[in-house]
Amino acid sequence: MISNDIDLAANLLKQGEIVAIPTETVYGLAANVYNPEAVEKIFIAKQRPKNDPLIVHIHNIRQLEDMVGKIPHNAAVLFTNFWPGPLTILFKNTQKKVPEIVTAGSPYVAVRLPNNELTLKLLGKLDFPIAAPSANLFQKTSPTTPQHVEQQFGDKIPMILDGGECQVGVESTIVGFDEEDEKTINVYRLGGVTVEKLKEVMYDFNIVVKDGNYNLPGNAKLHYSTNKPLILGDIDKLLSENKDKKVGVLSFKKRYDTEFQFVLSEEGNLQQAAQNLYKGMQILDAMPVDIIVAELVPNNHLGKAINDRLIRAAAK
Ligand code: TXA
Ligand code: MG
Q: Dihedral sign for Cα 189, 19, 124, 165, please.
A: positive
Percentage above 70 pLDDT, the chain: 97
pLDDT at position 179 is: 86
Q: What is the atom index within ligand 1 of the atom nearest the CA of 188?
A: 21
Kindly give the distance from the C-alpha atom of residue 292 to the centroid of ligand 2, in angstroms, as a whole number. Answer: 21
Evaluate if residue 29 carries a pLDDT over 70: yes
Asked if residue 52 has its Cβ within 6 Å of ligand 1, the reply is yes
3-state DSSP call for residue 88? strand
Q: Which ligand is nearest to the CA of 192?
A: 1
Q: Which ligand is nearest to the CA of 115?
A: 1
pLDDT at position 219 is: 64
Residue 224 — pLDDT band, cuts 50, 70, 90? confident
pLDDT at position 213 is: 54
**Burial class of residue 141, CB neighbours in 10 A (0-12, 13-18, 19+):** buried
- For the stretch 2-15, pLDDT in tens is 999 999 999 999 99
* Contacts of residue 213, Cβ cutoff 8 Å, sequence gap at least 6: none
Beta bridge partners of 55: 110
For 227, half-sphere exposure in the C-beta direction (CA atoms, 13 angstrom radius) is: 12
Asked if residue 109 has its Cβ within 6 Å of ligand 1, the reply is yes
Residue 217 — pLDDT band, cuts 50, 70, 90? low
Q: What is the atom index within ligand 1 of the atom nearest the CA of 109?
A: 29
* Contacts of residue 54, Cβ cutoff 8 Å, sequence gap at least 6: 39, 42, 102, 104, 110, 131, 132, 133
- What is the layout of strands, in order, in the sheet containing 28-32? 2-3, 159-161, 19-21, 28-32, 130-131, 55-57, 108-112, 87-92, 173-177, 184-189, 206-209
Taking the C-alpha atoms of residue 293 and residue 280, their distance in angstroms, rounded to an integer, is 12
Asked if residue 315 has its Cβ within 6 Å of ligand 1, the reply is no
Chain Cα centroid distance, residue 202: 23
Asked if residue 134 has its Cβ within 6 Å of ligand 1, the reply is yes
Q: What is the dihedral of CA 303, 135, 102, 83, to 10 degrees?
A: 50
Q: Mutate which of 55, 92, 122 to test ligand 1's pocket (most atoms within 8 Å of Cβ)? A: 55
pLDDT at position 180 is: 87
Q: Which ligand is nearest to the CA of 220?
A: 1
CA separation (Å) from 27 to 20, 33, 148, 179, 301?
7, 17, 9, 32, 22
- For the stretch 134-179, pLDDT in tens is 999 998 999 999 999 999 999 999 999 999 999 999 999 999 998 8
Asked if residue 172 has its Cβ within 6 Å of ligand 1, the reply is yes
Kindly give the distance from the C-alpha atom of residue 134 to the centroid of ligand 2, in angstroms, as a whole number. Answer: 4
- For the stretch 87-96, pLDDT in tens is 999 999 999 9
> How confident is the prediction for the chain on average, in pLDDT?
95
173-177 and 87-92 beta bridge pairing: parallel
Asked if residue 42 has its Cβ within 6 Å of ligand 1, the reply is no
pLDDT at position 220 is: 66
Taking the C-alpha atoms of residue 160 and residue 266, their distance in angstroms, rounded to an integer, is 31
Q: How many Cβ atoms are within 10 Å of 96's Cβ, its own excluded? A: 11
Evaluate if residue 239 carries a pLDDT over 70: yes
pLDDT at position 222 is: 72
Residue 238 — pLDDT band, cuts 50, 70, 90? very high
19-21 and 28-32 beta bridge pairing: antiparallel
Taking the C-alpha atoms of residue 108 and residue 177, their distance in angstroms, rounded to an integer, is 11
Taking the C-alpha atoms of residue 112 and residue 253, their distance in angstroms, rounded to an integer, is 32
- For the stretch 166-213, pLDDT in tens is 999 999 999 999 888 889 999 999 999 999 999 999 999 999 998 665
pLDDT at position 51 is: 92
Average the pLDDT over 248-253 and give the result.
98
Kindly give the distance from the C-alpha atom of residue 155 to the centroid of ligand 1, in angstroms, as a whole number. Answer: 24
Q: What is the atom index within ligand 1 of the atom nearest the CA of 48?
A: 13
3-state DSSP call for residue 59? coil
Residue whose Cα lies nearest atom 24 of ligand 1: it is 53
Asked if residue 21 has its Cβ within 6 Å of ligand 1, the reply is no
Kindly give the distance from the C-alpha atom of residue 133 to the centroid of ligand 2, in angstroms, as a whole number. Answer: 6
Q: Which ligand is nearest to the CA of 142?
A: 2
- For the stretch 255-272, pLDDT in tens is 999 999 999 999 999 999
- Strand positions, DSSP E, the chain: 2-3, 19-21, 28-32, 55-57, 87-92, 108-112, 130-131, 159-161, 173-177, 184-189, 206-209, 230-232, 247-251, 261-263, 291-294
Q: How many Cβ atoms are within 10 Å of 47's Cβ, its own excluded? A: 10
Kindly give the distance from the C-alpha atom of residue 69 to the centroid of ligand 2, in angstroms, as a whole number. Answer: 27
Evaluate if residue 216 carries a pLDDT over 90: no
Asked if residue 163 has its Cβ within 6 Å of ligand 1, the reply is no
Cβ–Cβ under 8 Å, residues 42 and 29: yes
Name the amino acid, one letter, at 93: N
- What is the layout of strands, in order, in the sheet containing 230-232? 230-232, 291-294, 247-251, 261-263
Taking the C-alpha atoms of residue 104 and residue 52, their distance in angstroms, rounded to an integer, is 6
